[in-house]
Amino acid sequence: MDENQSPEVIAEHPEEFDPRKRVGRITRNFFLHIHAPRVHPHSLRPDYTFGLGVMLGFLFLVMLFTGIVLMIYYTPSVEMAYQSVKDIIYMVPGGRIIRNMHRWASQGMVIVVFLHMIRVFYTGSYLGSRSLNWVIGVVMLMVTLMSNFSGYLLPWDQLAYWAVTIGSNIAASSRELTDLLGITSLFDPGGFLKTLLIGGETVGQPALSRFFALHVIFLPVTMLVLMGVHFWRIRKDGGLSRPLQTVQGKGNTSKWYAWPVLMWTELALLIGVVLVILLIAMVADAPLLERANPAYPENPAKAPWYFLGIQELVSYSAFTGGMVVPVLYLIFLFSIPYQDHEEQYVGQWFSGAKGRRVVFISAAVALVVVVLQLVVEVTIGGLRDWIPGVSQWFVMLLNPAMVTSAIFILGSLWVKRRTRSTRISAMVLFTASLVALIVFTMVGIFFRGPNWEFYWSASQWPVI
Amino acid sequence: MVRRHFIRRIAIALASITGGAVAAGYLRQYFPRIAGEKRRISLGDPNFYPVDTYTFLEDHNLFVYRDHEGFRAVSAVCTHLGCILEKSSDGFECPCHGSCYNPSGEVTSGPAPRDLSWFRVGRAPDGGLFVDPGQTTQPGEKFLTS
């Protein structure tokens, strides 16, 4: 790039190419010095990072700025919330666009945060000293999802009310286990969590106030702090991950100055992100259903699309599908960098050709495992339909959510023993659970209708 | 043990105890003293309720069933994740995740972990009926009015 400018050009504009000046642009600026003054060319390859992390930062900025406008006009009270959202749409100049941008940027964040995690995982960018930053990243994934969850109670429409009713009861679902053991009156972690979340037995004003506080102050501030740490760790870990051969033996001479190369790239990305969100916001309206009615759930009562995978799992069992399996998944994500230390694979997509094959095979096997169980579940029903009056223990333990998890965990342990590679076995489990998440989510989005029954298409739903 | 280490240990212990107490006290703020919502629900004049019919009480999420002998009241809240049940031809059905209950409120299919609760119905001094959500009864138990 312009590192290789001809001597004549450099001689004409000596001040533009003065290294001290270029370094100073970054280091003398509080906001820019999250970047190193010089970056390795590999970090700027669009086919390596896809700019996903930076994109997330920009989407978060869009959330902040649109969120402030919404917060000014929104009233967090059960009586007035719904009307104030209507006011934002119809009375505030450009309010409809701002609300749409807030909604679509939030969904964009959910998609991009998963893509970013997938990129970081398959390039082995959690290896070595980057393990801590992976863990921080998983926490940021949770904060993103919690921000979304807390955000959709606020309009106080039917979706809001029933999604949070279901969500808060998932929080209380360990009662399924404590009830079976008969110890709920002595030890009730589910009730503790539920009261902490919604401040009562049912969703009402206390829940709205709590979610408002979470959504507009607690979670955004947490996110900002974590973003700071996340970016700081990238610099401490020596910049973005890259293959070992690009790290060894080469000093700063082969690096590019962040100013101007990186800065202009990022500015272009910022403009691109805002433009895309703005365009989507102009053509697609964020949904707003009827005002919340605590006596009549929607039928089907569907959560936003990115939670429909979990909703499919809770339709087998609230506790194991809604708590045990998601918690297992989080434990797996957190533990990846502490199980796998094969640092030689850092910065390589799928750790090479063999890894690529492993990823394809485990994706195919996972697809078969999940789809087969769904076929059984849909055609002959759950355990209760085979054996009426079966104990709740079996309903909790023998369902597609638990069986899938068990098969995947045992499968990855078997692969670990056979290949003696922690990286390969981590890729097996990560790929399989990703496929399962996608399949369950697809089923929830496209194939579930009234009473959560299976339909090939929404056009077959009965009229109720 | 060196005196300095001893003092350091005491200091850390005291700081931990104080920190723990502050954290517990702070967390306590998130759990208000709420009176139970289990107050008696007035049903009013028994003649208001049609015979052999489940009447849904919107504000209390209850079904009141009246037959020619008397009254029964059953919770309309799904024991799975708290959605409101619909009366179906053979019991109750949950629109959220498809749990089904028979007319006695027992789970017949779906993910619901418990049977529905039936509540005591009684007569208030003014002659009207009430339901007491604080007191559960057996599914077959009726408040006899005839």
Give the contacts of A94 (CB within 8 A, at least 6 positions apart): none
Mean pLDDT of A368-382: 91
Residue A295 has its nearest CB partner, among B58, B80, B95, at B58
On chain A, the residues whose CB falls within 8 A of the CB of B61 are 294-295
Residue A72 confidence (pLDDT): 96
Global pTM? 0.92
Q: Which residues pair with B63 in a beta bridge?
A: B56, B74
B119 by DSSP, 3-state: which?
strand
Q: Within an 8 Å CB–CB cutoff, is residue B107 touching chain A?
A: yes
Mean pLDDT of B5-23: 96
Q: Closest Cα of chain B to A180: distance in Å? A: 9
Structure tokens at B90: 């053979």
Which of B27, B62, B80 to mutate to test binding with chain A, by most A CBs within 10 Å of its CB?
B80
Long-range Cβ pairs for the range A98-101 (8 Å, 24+): A98/A66, A98/A69, A98/A70, A98/A281, A99/A66, A99/A70, A99/A286, A100/A280, A100/A281, A100/A282, A100/A284, A100/A285, A100/A286, A101/A62, A101/A66, A101/A277, A101/A278, A101/A281
Inter-chain touch A166–B81, beta carbons under 8 Å: yes
Confirm if A449 and A300 have CB atoms less than 8 A apart.
yes
Residue A3 confidence (pLDDT): 56
Inter-chain touch B95–A179, beta carbons under 8 Å: no
- Alpha-carbon dihedral angle through residues A101, A102, A103, A108, given to the nearest 10 degrees: 80
Structure tokens at B75: 């919770």
Confirm if A246 and A347 have CB atoms less than 8 A apart.
yes
How far, in Å, CA of A414 to CA of A398, rounded?
22
Confirm if A168 and A203 have CB atoms less than 8 A apart.
yes
B106 exposure class (CB count in 10 Å sphere: 0-12, 13-18, 19+): middle
Confirm if A120 and A134 have CB atoms less than 8 A apart.
yes
Q: Within an 8 Å CB–CB cutoff, is residue B108 touching chain A?
A: yes
How far, in Å, CA of A266 to CA of A57, rounded?
11
Search chain A and give the residue with CA nearest B34: A200
Confirm if A135 and A225 have CB atoms less than 8 A apart.
no
Mean pLDDT of A199-214: 93
Residue A201 has its nearest CB partner, among B37, B95, B107, at B37
Residue A459 confidence (pLDDT): 85
On chain A, the residues whose CB falls within 8 A of the CB of B94 are 451
- pLDDT confidence tier of residue B139, bands split at 50, 70 and 90: confident
Structure tokens at A76: 């967090």
Residue A249 confidence (pLDDT): 60
Structure tokens at B86: 């619909």
Search chain A and give the residue with CA nearest B99: A451
Conformational region of residue A262, where left means phi above 0, alpha means psi within -120 to 50, and beta covers everything else: alpha
Q: CA dist B129 to A61, B58, B66, B123, B133, Å?
A: 58, 17, 12, 4, 13
pLDDT tens digits, one per residue of B98-127: 899 999 999 998 899 999 999 999 988 888
How far, in Å, CA of B126 to CA of A354, rounded?
81
CB atoms within 10 A of CB A134: 20
Give the least confident one: A283-287, B15-19, B52-56.
Answer: B52-56
Q: Within an 8 Å CB–CB cutoff, is residue A385 touching chain B?
A: yes
pLDDT at A108 over 90: yes
Inter-chain touch A165–B83, beta carbons under 8 Å: yes
On chain B, the residues whose CB falls within 8 A of the CB of A297 are 83-84, 95-96
Confirm if A157 and A288 have CB atoms less than 8 A apart.
yes
How far, in Å, CA of A273 to CA of A275, rounded?
5
Give the least confident one: A207-216, A333-342, A384-393.
Answer: A384-393
Give the least confident one: A114-128, A151-165, A193-207, A236-250.
Answer: A236-250
Structure tokens at A46: 């669009």
Q: CA dist A97 to A92, A153, A279, A291, B40, Å?
A: 10, 20, 10, 21, 48
Rg (CA), chain A: 25
Element housing A376 (H / E): helix A353-380
How far, in Å, CA of A349 to CA of A332, rounded?
21
Q: Within an 8 Å CB–CB cutoff, is residue A191 touching chain B?
A: no
Confirm if A278 and A150 have CB atoms less than 8 A apart.
no
Percent of chain B with pLDDT over 90: 49
Closest CA to B145 of B64, B88, B85, B81: B64
φ and ψ at A136, to 5 degrees? Answer: -60, -40
Search chain B and give the residue with CA nearest A161: B83
ipTM passes above 0.90: no
Mean pLDDT, chain A, whole residue set: 91
Mean pLDDT of A199-212: 93
Give the least confident one: A29-43, A57-71, A106-120.
Answer: A29-43
Closest CA to A154 of A224, A93, A70, A278: A70
Mean pLDDT of B22-40: 84
Search chain A and give the residue with CA nearest B38: A201
- pLDDT confidence tier of residue A253, bands split at 50, 70 and 90: low
Residue B36 confidence (pLDDT): 61
Percent of chain B with pLDDT over 70: 97
C-alpha count within 13 angstroms, C-beta hemisphere, residue A325:
31
Percent of chain A with pLDDT over 70: 97
Higher pLDDT, A225 or A238: A225
A65 exposure class (CB count in 10 Å sphere: 0-12, 13-18, 19+): middle
Percent of chain A with pLDDT over 90: 65
Confirm if A98 and A92 have CB atoms less than 8 A apart.
yes
Mean pLDDT of A186-202: 90
Confirm if A444 and A309 have CB atoms less than 8 A apart.
yes
pLDDT tens digits, one per residue of A302-332: 888 899 999 999 999 999 999 999 999 999 9
Closest CA to A427 of A404, A402, A408, A440: A408
B68 exposure class (CB count in 10 Å sphere: 0-12, 13-18, 19+): exposed
Q: Within an 8 Å CB–CB cutoff, is residue A243 touching chain B?
A: no
CB atoms within 10 A of CB B71: 21
How far, in Å, CA of A200 to CA of B37, rounded?
10
What burial letters (b/e) apply to A304-333, b meaning 16+ CB within 10 Å? Answer: bebbbbbbbbbbbbbbbbbbbbbebbeebb
Mean pLDDT of A237-255: 75
- pLDDT confidence tier of residue A1, bands split at 50, 70 and 90: very low
Give the least confident one: A61-70, A387-396, A416-425.
Answer: A387-396
A225 by DSSP, 3-state: which?
helix
Inter-chain touch A165–B61, beta carbons under 8 Å: no
Inter-chain touch B95–A392, beta carbons under 8 Å: no
How far, in Å, CA of A267 to CA of A269, rounded?
5
CB atoms within 10 A of CB A370: 23
Mean pLDDT of A19-33: 84
Q: Within an 8 Å CB–CB cutoff, is residue B52 touching chain A?
A: no
Residue B48 confidence (pLDDT): 85
Structure tokens at A223: 């996110």
